[in-house]
């Protein structure tokens, strides 16, 4: 034990001391607590060096077995983004013809939407279902007019849960972007793009890659970052002395 201690003293690295109880939030916590999804962007393009810096942090995310199963695509071509949004809107409109349980339809529509919900309860959860309806009605932009969109792709052959690994690397990038004062928003309504053969061919998404999700990136209008209340989830706590408690 003593040897280790000496090594730490002699080395060039310094050890980080954890904060005291009740100490103010540090810079990382501050970024995490103030991060909000930004859905209102300026037209100004993000410079390349900032995007490179953001992508670099995504590269250093933890992954299962250090497989690093991600691939990033940066799309700044506004024509391409517009074309993709148009196709997403088209697909959403088609979907809303069959599955729409907000507006009352005919008897078969209600029945089919229930069926959709039963077999894909994440995609047809009431919140994304309402958002899909808004996209179909063009009240909500797919990428909210962001000047840059980062596509996150995963390597299907990878170890463990590559989708989780991609999510971790994406969150690294998002937090870095917010620490630079940029705005981001996770957009998973890109799923039709990953399914349509036309776009798969055009963007070169082929085996082993699969489109997981996208992150819209840009300078926000106003100052959207700030603290808002969030729900407190129950935490089951198995203590050292064998007792158990639930805290919030």
Task: Report how far residue 75's alpha carbon sits from residue 167's, in angstroms, rounded to the nearest whole number.
Answer: 19
Helix (H, G, I), strand (E, B) or coil at 93: helix
Among 73, 131, 164, 168, the residue binding another protein under the rule CB under 8 A is 131
Q: Between residue 142 and residue 201, which ones bind another protein under the rule CB under 8 A?
A: none
Cβ neighbours, 10 Å, residue 122: 8
Binding segment toward another protein, per CB under 8 A, in 73-81, 88-96, 121-129, 168-176: 121-129
Among 9, 79, 231, 240, the residue binding another protein under the rule CB under 8 A is 231
Q: Between residue 97 and residue 116, which ones bind another protein under the rule CB under 8 A?
A: 101-104
Our finding on whether 233 is near another protein (CB under 8 A) is yes
Single out the residue of 172, 77, 89 nearest to residue 134, CA to CA. 89
Three-state SS across 73-87? Answer: EEECCHHHHHHHHHH
Contact 178, 34 (CB under 8 A): yes
Our finding on whether 227 is near another protein (CB under 8 A) is yes
Total number of residues that touch another protein (CB under 8 A): 40
CA 91 to chain centre: 21
User: Is it true that the peptide bond before 208 is cis, omega within 30 degrees of 0?
Assistant: yes
Our finding on whether 23 is near another protein (CB under 8 A) is yes
Contact 101, 117 (CB under 8 A): yes
Among 115, 130, 159, 195, the residue binding another protein under the rule CB under 8 A is 130
The CB-of-126 to another protein minimum distance in angstroms stands at 6
Our finding on whether 222 is near another protein (CB under 8 A) is yes
Our finding on whether 94 is near another protein (CB under 8 A) is no
Among 50, 61, 73, 140, the residue binding another protein under the rule CB under 8 A is 140
CA end-to-end span of the chain, whole Å? Answer: 37
Our finding on whether 27 is near another protein (CB under 8 A) is no
With respect to another protein, which residue has the nearer C-beta, 7 or 137? 137
Our finding on whether 18 is near another protein (CB under 8 A) is no
The CB-of-222 to another protein minimum distance in angstroms stands at 4
Question: What tokens does 65 get?
Answer: 């077995």
Residue 151, burial from CB neighbour count under 10 angstroms (0-12, 13-18, 19+) = buried
| Chain residues in the site for another protein (CB under 8 A) | 21-25, 29, 33, 36-40, 101-104, 121, 125-127, 130-131, 134, 139-140, 221-234, 248
């Amino acid at each position: 034990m003593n040897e280790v201690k000496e090594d730490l003293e002699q080395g060039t690295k310094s050890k980080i001391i954890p904060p005291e109880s009740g100490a103010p939030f540090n810079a990382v916590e501050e970024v995490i607590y103030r991060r909000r999804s930004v859905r209102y962007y300026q037209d100004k393009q993000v410079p390349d060096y900032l995007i490179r810096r953001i992508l670099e942090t995504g590269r250093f995310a933890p992954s299962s077995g250090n497989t690093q199963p991600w691939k990033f695509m940066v799309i700044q071509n506004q024509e391409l983004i517009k074309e993709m949004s148009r196709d997403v809107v088209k697909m959403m409109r088609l979907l809303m013809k069959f599955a729409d349980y907000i507006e009352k339809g005919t008897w078969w529509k209600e029945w089919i939407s229930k069926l959709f919900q039963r077999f894909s309860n994440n995609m047809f959860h009431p919140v994304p279902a309402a958002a899909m309806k808004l996209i179909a009605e063009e009240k909500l932009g797919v990428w909210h007019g962001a000047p840059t969109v980062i596509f996150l792709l995963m390597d299907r052959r990878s170890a463990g849960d590559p989708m989780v690994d991609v999510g971790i690397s994406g969150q690294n990038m998002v937090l870095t972007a917010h620490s630079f004062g940029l705005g981001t928003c996770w957009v998973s309504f890109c799923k039709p793009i990953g399914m349509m053969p036309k776009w798969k061919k055009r963007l070169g998404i082929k085996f082993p890659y699969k489109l997981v999700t996208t992150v819209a990136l840009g300078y926000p209008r106003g100052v959207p970052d700030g603290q808002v209340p969030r729900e407190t989830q129950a935490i089951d706590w198995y203590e050292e002395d064998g007792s158990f408690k639930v805290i919030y």
